[in-house]
A and B are shown apart, each in its own frame.
Chain A
Amino acid sequence: MGPAFSIALKDVRLLMRDRMGFFFTFFFPLLIAIFFGFVFQQGGGPAGIPVAVIDLDQTPESAQFAAKLKDGGELAVVAGLSQQQAQAAVRSGKLRAMIVLNPGFGEARKRPFWGEPMHIELGVDPSRAALASMLNGVVTKHAYEGFSEMFADPAAMRGQVRDSMDLMRKDNSVAPAMRPVFELFFRSLDSMLGSLENQPEQSPGAQPPSAPSPSGSGGERGDQATDAAPASGGWQPVLITTKEITGQKRDIPANSFALTFPQGIIWGMMGCALSFAITLVMERTRGTLIRLRVAPLSRVHLLGGKAIGCFIVTCSVAAMLMVVARFVFKVQPTSYPMLILAIACTSLCFVGVMMLLAAVSKTEAAGNGLGWGVLLLLSMIGGGMVPLEFLPSFIKSFSVVSPIRWSLLALEGGIFRGSDLAEMALPCGILLAIGSVCFLLGTRLFRLD
């Protein structure tokens, strides 16, 4: 295979020397991936983390809290699901998490100083530890914002303090030794709120008195709640617990770049395939093919050399883009072996496409026109331009013939879908089949003379 490798290396060298070709092969796909990555990140993505809020309490307080979560901007709240439906949605990856407002939420919110705290349960995939922490922070923030509003109204607050004092007096579980302590605390609080209530009205813009913090800052309180520590002693008006919902698959990209880099890789590979198809046509039109044919080479050497060159460059483009994706845009592939498999199969498919394009193109101009025409069409129906989900159903049904569809599926399988070998078999098998058919047809149709 020495001469075939010589041909491959010569073609790689020629591609590197052609500034325009080099740009469109290596940098244009990178620009596409980065540009659309930022576009999706800024405006195309969801407004917040998609979560379900399940209100099991059904009180005005719980409804008010659910509305706060919805209006907060951090979450894209889906309401109206049952707990089971929400759980299934999280498991399948359609939603990132669920937030359950348990029964008693409204009652606990009304008397924060005594009795059971407001119980909020988070349901999150355990593999999404960072998401769980973030969600905890968001829920804690909204819960304590409610208290802050409460403290800003001394009259309402005094009512809640007195309610809590009555509850404490009736609570037989409180140790007799502790009763005077709690009596003193509630009376002092009531007296303080009374003096605030009697003060003249504040000037506009003045800050309300800050909420008391019985056991430290709100942040520390949130951490305790996250740990789901039982209310044993200290003041704990909110209890946030986390329930693990193990997902079936993690087929949601970590960020928008995980979606756009597979597309960039495919655009790069399309560019390579077209460049190599045209170099093969050029060998014929410019006469160098005569010298190659007079050399003691078989047809296999000659066309094999082109195929090897194309395979090397398509794989290099994919590798370069993935290095940038990994280290600059924090796209962490779920499986490197599956990603390598996807890149290899996609490259082989495009090598076949290259050979067929070269065979049917008589001139460079014809190759260029035909190549871009066909590849753009395949890209359009295969989800290479607009994601398949947004395409009409009749186009979706055509997409099965497009190698772009299967390439995207295979690459995404290795990048964020977490596909296993069995799941990769279909797209990879189809890519290899398309590549083989195109390659065999191309080598058969390619005229050396």
Chain B
Amino acid sequence: MLRLNNLHKRFGSVTALDGLSLAVPKGSVFGLLGPNGAGKTTSISIAVGLLKPDSGTVDLDSSGSPLDPAVRRRIGIAPQALALYDELTAVENLDFFASLYQLDRPLRRQRAQSLLARVGLTDRARDRVKEYSGGMKRRLNLAAALIHDPPLVLLDEPTAGVDPQSRNAILDIISSLRDEGRTVVYTTHYMEEAQRICDLVAIVDHGKVLAQGTVDQLIASRGGASVVTIETDSGHHRIETADPVAELTARLRSSDVRGVRVDRPDLESVFLHLTGRSLRD
């Protein structure tokens, strides 16, 4: 669906992208995971044609570059900044963004109503956005990305700064987008979110893709061993093992076991393993 090929981009002396390449399959949720400043937003900006790469190419379904307006018509974006007009209502915001795609009025209304229901804002549809909570604005920001029914949706940190309820709602909507056959590219630095909804993940740092694959593949190949911690009369014992179940079974035969804990590797472990530092450093 979307291919980023060997992208390079510099802002003055800062290298934002350093040969970044990605291949996002159709109908998947693709997570771009990395710390702030890793190059995630720059990648998204180039993918939708907001920025021109210094070198490298972007290809959307073999139909060309997103610098072409006809190609951009197939892309929806929810930017990290809440790209909404505070003085307009939710309906007016959606209607305006739909009008940019020259949809006719009945279709605009129908889409707006359907999306507001989907993001749980039907009751507040006529309220001005300035009266919304942060989570409601995030949900509306997502709805605005979908107003023209794009097959490719790019979501830049769509859950940043929202309450757990809105976060769950947003993650559920993203999962449902995949179920509809849309392709979702999703940037975040919340690894648990990526683990929950992404089919494929690329770990990015310093403008490069350090690793990509399914969550399980990455954890298996780059996450390291599981850690089994056993509490006995003589103290705590920390055991690194590739097979925590077998290790636990063997240890539980001993009579002085008071408690156990298993720490399986996750994407944080993968990032730590790849970069030597924590994702949130």
Contact = CB atoms under 8 A, between A and B. Distances in A.
Interface of A: 2-3, 6-7, 10, 13-14, 17-18, 286-288, 290-298, 449
By size class, the interface of chain B is 20 to 34
B219 to A, nearest CB: 34
Contacts of B97: 291, 295
A292 B100 CA distance: 8
A14 B83 contact: no
B96 A293 contact: no
Contact of A290 (B77, B101, B102): B77
Interface in B8-39: none
Contacts of B70: 296
Contacts of B84: 288
A260 B84 CA distance: 40
A286 B144 CA distance: 15
29 contacts: A2-B99, A3-B99, A3-B100, A3-B102, A6-B96, A6-B99, A10-B85, A10-B88, A13-B92, A14-B88, A18-B87, A286-B83, A287-B79, A287-B80, A287-B81, A287-B83, A288-B83, A290-B77, A290-B81, A291-B144, A293-B49, A293-B50, A294-B72, A294-B76, A295-B72, A295-B97, A295-B101, A297-B69, A449-B50
Nearest 7 Cβ contacts at the A-B interface: A287-B81, A296-B69, A295-B100, A6-B99, A17-B87, A287-B83, A291-B83
Interface in B35-82: 48-51, 69-70, 72-73, 75-77, 79-82
Nearest to B102: A2
Nearest to A10: B96
Contacts of B100: 3, 6-7, 291-292, 295-297
A49 to B, nearest CB: 51
B70, B96, B99, B100: residue with the most chain A Cβ atoms closer than 10 Å:
B100
Interface in B156-189: none
Nearest to B79: A290
Given A2-B102, A3-B100, A294-B50, A288 B85 contact: yes
A288 B88 CA distance: 13
Nearest to A296: B69
A6 B98 CA distance: 10
Given A6-B96, A287-B79, 10 more contacts: A2-B102, A13-B88, A18-B87, A290-B50, A291-B77, A291-B79, A291-B144, A294-B49, A296-B101, A298-B69
Contacts, number: 68
A228 B82 CA distance: 80
A289 to B, nearest CB: 8
Interface string B108-143: 000000000000000000001000000000000000
Nearest to B76: A294
A14 B129 CA distance: 12
Nearest to A4: B100
Nearest to B69: A296
Contacts of A286: 81-83
Contacts of A294: 48-50, 72, 75-77
A137 B34 CA distance: 91
Contacts of A10: 85, 88, 96
Contacts of A287: 79-83
Nearest to A14: B87
Nearest to A448: B50
B102 A14 contact: no
Contacts of A13: 88, 92
Interface string B261-276: 0000000000000000
A290 B100 CA distance: 13
A159 B81 CA distance: 100
A449 B100 CA distance: 19
Contacts of B81: 286-287, 290
Contacts of A449: 50-51
Given A287-B81, A290-B79, A296 B72 contact: yes
Contacts of A292: 100
Contacts of B73: 296
Contacts of B83: 286-288, 290-291
A128 B101 CA distance: 59
Nearest to B51: A449
Contacts of A295: 72, 97, 100-101
Nearest to B80: A287
A20 B128 CA distance: 17
Contacts of A18: 87
A294 B72 CA distance: 6
B87 to A, nearest CB: 4
Nearest to A16: B87
Nearest to B78: A291
Contacts of A291: 77, 79, 83, 97, 100, 144
A25 to B, nearest CB: 14
Nearest to B71: A296
A292 B84 CA distance: 11
B118 to A, nearest CB: 19
Contacts of A288: 83-85
A14 B85 contact: yes
A248 B80 CA distance: 66
A265 B217 CA distance: 69
Contacts of B87: 14, 17-18
Contacts of B101: 295-296
B88 to A, nearest CB: 7
B156 to A, nearest CB: 9
Find the residue from B73, B84, B87 having the highest chain A CB count within 10 A: B87
Nearest to B154: A294
Contacts of A17: 87-88, 128
B80, B81, B92, B128, most chain A CB atoms within 10 A = B81
Contacts of B77: 290-291, 294
A287 to B, nearest CB: 3
Nearest to B145: A291
A386 B20 CA distance: 62
B105 to A, nearest CB: 11
A18 B88 CA distance: 10
A437 to B, nearest CB: 29
